[in-house]
Structure 1
């Protein structure tokens, strides 16, 4: 009987020993709480380093950073504002575009106060759009060239910059820029039948032009390299030129919107074409009188028309 009790006691003691081992051992990385070799360890698990809180951005420091980022751009935009249209304005636009992109880069690397984070990000994005708009607004200087100031009037970049600047100003941060003045698109037209150019006409020939296109047009007749006359024909109207001298003429026509008399060209939606066939005007005496040529040209395509046209490079169109 005593042997059985001893064995039973030993068995219970072994169970108690197993249960108490995890309490005495605290070895990280092992499921059974034991180190290699069956020993135990009292080493504590290393704790993870705590992250330091980001210090708040001083508003005065941020204002100084805004001034430094936007100052060179503001100076470049003032140059654009005072530049005359042409090469000087194009160069100023290129410089301002580079400064706008540089300002956006500077802002992206600048920390902003918590209350200005949204406006700060909005301004950086708007400055990139402004740079693209400034570069796209460059004038070609040729015919049918929209003024850069007209192009900027409808661009989204300048307006986005104004909105972002207002948002920051409401929080006490000055991000104002002297954006260049713009111009509204114009819609200049001449009266139907007005001569843009008129040479000596003393013949009997007669030319009628029907303009069934959706744009105003100027029709120009040349003999050799000389322009005989050019007449303005409004869309949906017709005009007649009388007293055309005898001879073979090349008939050119340009269509578009907003007639710029100084450049003798439309400024928007331009096309330049000519009729392949010559317009031959002849005057001859016949029994009982005089016979002369009467021609009609239709600018829009019509069924059964027999006058093919071709596109003309703007630089080759007669002025």
Structure 2
């Protein structure tokens, strides 16, 4: 069992994990058949029978485990890495029967050392923030457009100025803290404002990691004016619409 379980941990791709998972299921089923053919000592007869049942269950469960479907992105557009999560799904089929192995181990039998360790606990939540008014992106031709952003909400916001229709490729992006104010200058073309609200700013991904919402301002803005938008004031002159993570 130990070699088959270790092969799962060493798999370097989903295809390799498929092969290792199938081999593990075959070993689990083979070891179950070996136990079924043995007459156990009376003192461990019940534990023996439960271990046989556990191996049989593990074999079928390991084969049936879906490891091909990638994890879905969360509300902030982030999906956990596929391979580590798929490996731990396979490992769970073994850990779920830890008690059956432990009963024999406490009776003096050498069994269960191959059980993979529990998955590491997730890191504690962080509450990172960007600097108020920090321009995260500014690209393309410069113009005379100006945009003042006032954020009266309790959450920080990141505003994206989009001229090409794709919020993933903005002309400019700026961070505005809760109760803060900032200004973008040098804007060109007719543009639309997209924005993201959330908690814990990941500067590398340029996105929040928790409680994200993504919206698009309902109107367009002209490059030749000094515009102002305010978040968190009820009864404004436009209603933002929800959009997918960008």
* Shorter-chain TM-score range: 0.5 to 0.7
**TM-score normalised according to structure 1 size:** 0.51
Kindly indicate whether the alpha-carbon contact (under 8 Å) linking 2:176 and 2:182 is maintained by their aligned counterparts in 1: no
Cα distance, 1:220 vs structure 2 = 1.2
* TM-score calculated relative to the size of structure 2: 0.62
Aligned to 1:135: 67
Secondary structure in structure 2 of the residue aligned to 1:74: helix
Of residues 187, 194, 203, the one that matches 2:126 is 187
* Alignment coverage as a number of residue pairs: 226
Distance in 2 between residues matched to 1:156 and 1:211, nearest whole Å = 47
For 1:208, the equivalent position in structure 2 comes to 149
Q: Does the alignment pair 1:198 with 2:132?
A: no
Larger Rg, first or second structure (1 or 2): 1
Please give the alpha-carbon distance, in whole angstroms, between the structure 2 residues aligned to 1:259 and 1:227: 18
After TM superposition, where is structure 1 displaced by more than 6 Å over at least 4 residues in a row? 126-134, 150-156
Mapping for residues 67-86 of structure 1, pairs under 5 Å: 67=1, 71-79=3-11, 83=12
**How is 1:73-222 mapped onto 2 (pairs within 5 angstroms)?**
73-79=5-11, 83=12, 88=13, 90-95=14-19, 98=22, 102=26, 105-106=29-30, 109=33, 110-111=35-36, 113=40, 114=45, 115-118=47-50, 121=53, 135=67, 138-139=70-71, 143-148=77-82, 149=84, 157=92, 160=96, 165-171=101-107, 172-175=109-112, 176-178=114-116, 182=120, 184-185=122-123, 187=126, 189-193=128-132, 194-199=134-139, 203=144, 205-210=146-151, 212=153, 217-222=157-162
Query: Are 1:295 and 2:228 matched, yes or no?
Result: yes
1:228 aligns with 2:181: no
* Structure 2 spans left out of the alignment, 5+ residues: none
Q: Give the drift of 1:313.
A: 4.2
* Higher normalized helix content (fraction of residues): 1
Matched, 1:306 2:211: no
**CA RMSD after TM alignment:** 4.6
Alignment of 1:13-32 (within 5 A): none
Residues 202-251 of structure 1 deviation map (CA, whole Å, 9 limit, x = unaligned): 7472321427376x5432112226622212345x4434124353542211
Q: Which has the higher contact order (CA 8 A, sep 6+)?
A: 2
Q: Which residue of 2 aligns with 1:275?
A: 217
In structure 1, stretches of 5+ residues that fail to align are: 1-66, 284-292
